[in-house]
Amino acid sequence: MKPRLLENKKDFTLKDFFLQWEWLLVVLIMAVFIMNTNLSEYFLDYDNLRDATMGFLDKAFMVLPMVFIILMGDIDISVGSIVALSSVIMGDLYNHGMPMEWAMVVCLAVGALCGWINGLLIVKFKELSAVIVTLATMIIYRGIAYIILEDQASGKFPEWFKFLGWDYVGNIPFILITFAVFAVAFGFLLHKTTFGRRVYAIGNNATASRYSGVQVDRIKIIVFTLAGLMAAVTAIFLTSRMGSTRPNIATGYELEVIAMVVLGGISTAGGKGRMIGAILAVFLIGFLRYGLGLVNVSAQMLLIILGLLLIFSVAIPQLKLRFTTGRKA
Amino acid sequence: MKQTTTESAVLQGSQISQDKQKQSASAMIAKFRELGLLAFIVLLSIGVQIRNPSFLTWENINDIATNTAILSILAVGMMLVIITRGIDLSIGATLALSGMIAALTVSHYPDLHPLLAIAVGVGIGLVCGIVLGFLVAWVNILPIIATLGMMNVFRGLTFETSGGKWVSAHQMPASFKGIATGSLFGINNLILIAIVIYIVAYYFISHTRTGRRIYAVGSNPDSAEISGIRTGRVLWLVYTIMGGLSGLAGVLWVSKFASAQGDTASGYELSVIAACVLGGVSIAGGVGKISGIVLGAILLGILNNALPMINVSPFWQMFIQGTIILIAVLVNALVKRGIDRNHLMRRKI
């Protein structure tokens, strides 16, 4: 861990304001819109765009807590498995006679519990990186999902539940409203509360934060629990949209979530980045994917694009640092 | 000259501190880990044998050994990566890509010599490894992020090159399938190749300067850099070796199963990492032995083979594997704590 100096608060200048990563994302989103409009005449249509957001917002819930985790210099690659496990448990409980409302509560509880276990292991075994802990729990959680449902699917959910992911409030998708509420809440938590400031402090220097009286362990556990909880929220919307659930759902979601966060300008070294960046990245990747889907770009090609996007969004700040200061980060 | 002396002093220093472990419980575990693992393997085999007498037959043992061969080849590379504090999640995809390209090559040129097919696979793997090494060592991206991203790129490329189709057994010439099924001196080729790789890797990491530098970079990157080791080059080398071995494993895999698919070996990296941590490779870097990972791979191979034989549902396998990884990692951590505490106690001033 290298010491880093906190920058002095600079005066507001128009140049600095527009040279932020977030503006680059805005420009990229506009570029994607222009490209997509040229590619397909069906793209630029309010109903289309509105329904497109419904398609990619389910995993966006996990982006919000992942911002906190990466800000702290950690990573959580088990979120996809938590989605699968909590969704499978919810479906199985409903099929065994539990009312759907209670099954959803259990789903959220299972997600939070999984996240809490991740946090506890990471805090109690500091010599282990979050990578290996969540790698192990990633296999275990999905393993439990397989034990519960084997190769079966669970479905036949009540009508109202199926509409959660497809419904509108007025003219706006329910999932978009829910995401907006959560996004504002998480943004507030990160930027306007002492909790958020402490997350930044941990990301900049965990040891110094501990000596300054920040309860690093407690904050880490809370953040990982939140990640589990939001994975369960994703599980509810994903299950509702698919109408059934299987142990292999949400495979590879962790990659997309991490890609969105990193593309949003949150530094993997910790301590740098803002919530708005990650939210912009959600829409950037979402619309990019939707537009390319409209012109029949294959899912495999999307995989390549996503992987390259992840690499470039991490590489650009590193290269910039290397060429401006002549040293490695 | 001065640089090399300090470097060797650092290397010797780590050697001495490894030799001087006093007899605490954790130090004992660390010292006799391989023996314990071996005892566990023997006990497990006896237990399974009692439940199902067809376990310890010659065919089944041969089956386990050939299955373990590919896993352990990959584990050798993964060990080097983990020793430098890295991780490589892309090897399953690298394996699939090089296996697919090798299979496509032989299906177009059936007269190609099998050794050339292997060379094609290894070459593709090396290129993948060089790209990863560039990203990790030169651009300085976290290994987990770089390999996660490239995993998708390689996997996507596998689908793109094959057009989503399989290369199946009848498209491959017999000579190609013979790579994995043939044998020399009565021993299956896969096992022979694996043993050669163990020996070369053992010599490389224990008896060459470059090999020792890998350990030095893993135990303390900063002091390695100060001692004159070019850490970037070592990292680059490690990922390149990993890529080359994945490429080799890809050809062997495709030849063994006589089919190349887009999703070949998907998720296999997890088994490889499991074999490493079971074999005592520390995720914190700087620790790992060939003997350990070979035993770790054998244990995993036996588990995969034995669980269906004693009627454990295949759906339990993932959970069991994950739990084994977690327990192995936690035990490694606890053992390391014990050793560190021991070192502190001895440091009386």
Q: Which of B175, B181, B204 is nearest to B66 (CA)?
A: B181
Domain enclosing residue B152, as ranges: 36-348
| DSSP annotation of B169 | G
Q: Do the chains contact at B283 and A311, CB–CB below 8 Å?
A: no
In this predicted structure, what is the pLDDT of residue A148? Answer: 93
Say how many domains are in chain B.
Answer: 1
Q: Do the chains contact at A140 and B323, CB–CB below 8 Å?
A: yes
pLDDT at A202 exceeding the cut of 70: yes
- Per-residue CA distances from B258 to A151, B58, B255 (Å): 26, 23, 5
Question: Looking at the domain assignment, is residue B270 inside a domain?
Answer: yes
In this predicted structure, what is the pLDDT of residue A10? Answer: 58
Question: Looking at the domain assignment, is residue B19 inside a domain?
Answer: no
Question: Looking at the domain assignment, is residue B28 inside a domain?
Answer: no
Q: Which of A263, A270, A277, A247 is nearest to A91 (CA)?
A: A247
Report, as an integer, the average pLDDT of A14-34: 80
Contact of A300 with chain B, judged by CB distance below 8 Å, is answered with yes
Question: Looking at the domain assignment, is residue B23 inside a domain?
Answer: no
Nearest-Cα residue of chain A relative to residue B277: A132
* Share of residues in chain B with pLDDT > 70 (%): 90
Question: Looking at the domain assignment, is residue B213 inside a domain?
Answer: yes
Q: Kindly report the CATH number assigned to the domain that includes residue B333.
A: 1.10.3470
Please report the residues numbered 239 through 298 in chain B whose beta carbons come closer than 8 angstroms to any beta carbon of chain A. Answer: 262, 270, 273, 277, 283-284
Inter-residue contact A307 to A49 (CB < 8 Å): no
Q: Give B312 to chain A, closest Cα distance, Å.
A: 11
Packing angle between helix A275-294 and helix A174-192, nearest 10 degrees?
150
Q: Do the chains contact at A315 and B316, CB–CB below 8 Å?
A: no
pLDDT at B348 exceeding the cut of 80: no
Contact of B320 with chain A, judged by CB distance below 8 Å, is answered with yes
Q: Do the chains contact at A143 and B321, CB–CB below 8 Å?
A: yes
pLDDT at A322 exceeding the cut of 90: no
Inter-residue contact B231 to B217 (CB < 8 Å): yes
Q: Give A299 to chain B, closest Cα distance, Å.
A: 8
pLDDT at A186 exceeding the cut of 80: yes
Average pLDDT, chain B: 85
In this predicted structure, what is the pLDDT of residue A251? Answer: 85
| DSSP annotation of A154 | B
Please report the residues numbered 234 through 263 in chain A whose beta carbons come closer than 8 angstroms to any beta carbon of chain B. Answer: 252, 255, 258-259, 262
Contact of B192 with chain A, judged by CB distance below 8 Å, is answered with no
Report, as an integer, the average pLDDT of B109-120: 90
Q: Do the chains contact at A310 and B148, CB–CB below 8 Å?
A: yes
Q: Do the chains contact at A139 and B155, CB–CB below 8 Å?
A: no
In this predicted structure, what is the pLDDT of residue A15? Answer: 65
Partners of residue B159 in chain A, C-beta under 8 Å: 298, 300, 303
**Helices assigned H by DSSP within chain B:** 2-19, 25-31, 33-51, 58-83, 91-108, 114-133, 143-162, 174-181, 189-207, 209-219, 221-226, 231-257, 268-278, 290-309, 317-346
Query: Any bridge partners for residue A40, and if so which?
Result: none
In this predicted structure, what is the pLDDT of residue A329? Answer: 47
Three-class SS state of B313: coil
Question: Looking at the domain assignment, is residue B334 inside a domain?
Answer: yes
Contact of A129 with chain B, judged by CB distance below 8 Å, is answered with yes
**Distance between CA atoms of B246 and B344, rounded to whole angstroms?**
41
> Which tokens hold the place of A151?
């190769």
Question: Looking at the domain assignment, is residue B5 inside a domain?
Answer: no
Q: Give B259 to chain A, closest Cα distance, Å.
A: 20
ipTM of this complex prediction, to 2 decimal places: 0.84
**Distance between CA atoms of B239 and B88, rounded to whole angstroms?**
8
Q: Do the chains contact at B277 and A132, CB–CB below 8 Å?
A: yes
What residue spans define the domains of chain A?
65-250
